[in-house]
Amino acid sequence: MAPFWSPEPHHLLVSFLVLLLSLLFCFIKLRSPKTVPNLPTEWPLVGMLPSVVANLHHFHDYTTAFLAASGSSFVFRGPAMHFFITCDPANVRHIFVSNFTNYPKGEEFAAIFDAMGNSFFNADGESWRRQRGRVQHLISSPQLLAYMARCCRDKLEKGLLPFLARMDSLTPFDMQDLFTRFTFDMTAMSVFGVDPGLLTADMPPVIVPDAMEAVMDVGFFRNMVPVSCWKLMKRLKIGPERKLAAAQLELCRFVTEMMEKRGDGSVHMDEEQENSNVEIVSSYIHDPEYIDDQGKPNGFMYATLINYMFAGRDTVGTTLTWLFYNLIKHPHIVSSIRRELAPIAMHKANNSTTMVTFEPEETEPLVYLHAALFESMRLYPPGPIERKMVMTDDVLPSGHKVQRGETILISLYSMGRMEGVWGKDCREYRPERWVKEDGKLVYVPSYKFLAFNAGPRSCLGKNISVVQMKSVVAAMVWNFDFEMVGGYVVEPKPSVVLKMKNGLWAKILKRRIG
């Protein structure tokens, strides 16, 4: 057998040593009494990497500061790293819409998120177009949409609201954990037709959601270090890469378990069974591209189903957490939402002990509730960063030149905090900015409000997720009062998904209406 190091080029070891050197610079920098400047300091050999690592604990706010100082775009240079970072809407429109084909996700993106395999999250070109067409056809099905709405309503009425009712004693609980459980169960029901039961009375451990979070956390780490560094760590099975390997195994185990519970261990079903199933997996289980010679799910199906789980869970769960953070801080906005709900609710409840829920068709026309949701997503987009690769040399509207093979990072988090985009009150949570004088919703182009992506890769599940979130928020706001628990800092964690580092701890009290 060949020696362990022989297949790897020497630059892997060099890159690893460079990273250690950068950490030493970070230590020196953190010990220095000098305040951190808005723009990253560029060091010899290691470039700007030490400055970024030193501020990794508040990366999104740090990025916002230096983008504001540099006019919304910035070139980052590090060891074997060269990123163009922007939050300029004109650049975003060019990259995501006008010149879309020149800015794919790229092979390096697919390598970073290898847990998604060749699914539509990673795919480019013809593979992406084919998979997207299939997803678009699938989620436009009235049967599937009705089933997903039923899954949301059932989990709300039988899981979320009963849990909140049990907590009606001002006992602190983590709302982020609650929404994680709720959206995970709801998404699994839509994908597999099986309820994993994370939001039940016994509240079992969130092993699979934690594995999903690890994928996003390590994905962020891989974005922040030279490729050769994380690949070396992967080969040695150390650090974050060891955590990721365990997470990927757990996700595959979960898919296997769900398929077995629904009876698809070997995906042969009779005609009656096939016609009765409307969940997402049922449209894949007979496709030769997604099964092996024995009729069992292959790697492509596993990756695709995991992709659906991420798409459904992360957007809704993360958005709901930040929305309630904003609502608890602004009780007058809660009052405005309740005034909008009152004409609907007054016809539903016969006494003060009845839980009131709202149907999608009832919440769909509620403009202020919609504005409160979008305003929270403006400040706290569930996916705070997008990554693109340059196919051919180009000049962006900002005047910056980008070269073939270069990486572009788009900061959605920073865009929501740019005065030039949203005005001097850009850091304020103010739903009124989304409402016109005539009471209608303000139209904001997707390249300015990028929470649901823009252009050909815009989110196909946008309408579904908005309907789900509005129904959940309406029921929670109408039936309960919430109060924040003090003594800890609410801040985003450095990850590909904008989760809260310390959760969202709150107390709850059942409203007495009438």
Q: What is the pLDDT of residues 296-334, one digit of tens each?
A: 899 999 999 999 999 988 889 999 999 999 999 999 999
Mean of pLDDT values over 238-267? 87
**Distance between CA 380 and CA 278 in Å, rounded?**
33
Q: What's the CA gap between 390 and 102, in Å, rounded?
A: 6
CB 206 within 8 A of CB 177: yes
Q: Indicate the pairing of strand 81-86 with strand 407-411.
A: parallel
376-399 mean pLDDT: 97
* Across 101-126, average pLDDT: 96
User: Given pLDDT bands bounded at 50, 70 and 90, which one contains residue 269?
Assistant: very low
* DSSP result, 217-264: HHHHHHHHS-HHHHHHHHHHT-THHHHHHHHHHHHHHHHHHHHHHTT-
The pLDDT of residue 236: 95
Asked whether 409 and 106 are in contact (CB, 8 A), the reply is no
With 80 as the cut, is the pLDDT of residue 140 above it?
Answer: yes
The count of other CB atoms within 10 Å of the CB of residue 60 is: 22
Q: Where are the domains of the chain?
A: 55-510
H helices of 412-514, where?
Answer: 412-415, 419-422, 462-479
Q: Lowest mean pLDDT of 35-39, 114-118, 377-381, 398-402, name the range.
A: 35-39
C-alpha distances in Å from residue 343, one per residue of 13, 346, 350, 436: 67, 6, 14, 21
- How does residue 486 score in pLDDT terms, banded at 50, 70 and 90? confident
- When pLDDT is cut at 50, 70 and 90, the band that residue 11 belongs to is very low
The whole-number average pLDDT for the span 114-124 is 94
For the residues 402-424, what does the mean pLDDT come to? 96
140 Rama class: left (phi>0) / alpha (psi -120 to 50) / beta = alpha
Q: Which of 169, 182, 90 is nearest to 469 (CA)?
A: 182
Q: Cα–Cα distance between 496 and 263 in angstroms, integer?
A: 34
26 is in an annotated binding site: no
Of 315 and 32, the structure prediction assigns the larger pLDDT to: 315
CA atoms of 505 and 175, how far apart (whole Å): 6
pLDDT at 354: 75
The answer on pLDDT for 35 being more than 80 is no
The rounded distance, in Å, linking the Cα atoms of 210 and 497 is: 13
Between residues 475 and 79, which one has the greater pLDDT?
A: 475
One-letter amino acid for residue 373 of the chain: L
Q: What are phi and psi of 421, to 5 degrees?
A: -100, -45
pLDDT at 346: 86
Looking at 243-257, 281-295, 339-353, 417-431, which range is the least confident one? 339-353
CATH entry 1.10.630.10 includes domain 55-510: yes
Least confident range of 8-22, 244-258, 296-310, 439-453? 8-22
Q: What is the mean pLDDT of residues 30-47?
A: 65
For range 227-249, the mean pLDDT: 95
Is the confidence at residue 33, as pLDDT, over 80? no
Answer for the pair 230, 237: CB distance below 8 angstroms, yes or no. no
What pLDDT sits at residue 21? 56
Residues 492-501 have a mean pLDDT of 94
Closest Cα to residue 206, out of 181, 173, 185?
181
Planar angle of CA 66, 70, 73, nearest 5 degrees: 90
Would you say the pTM of this structure is higher than 0.85?
A: yes
25 pLDDT above the threshold of 70: no
Give residue-wise pLDDT tens across range 427-456.
999 999 999 999 999 999 999 999 999 999
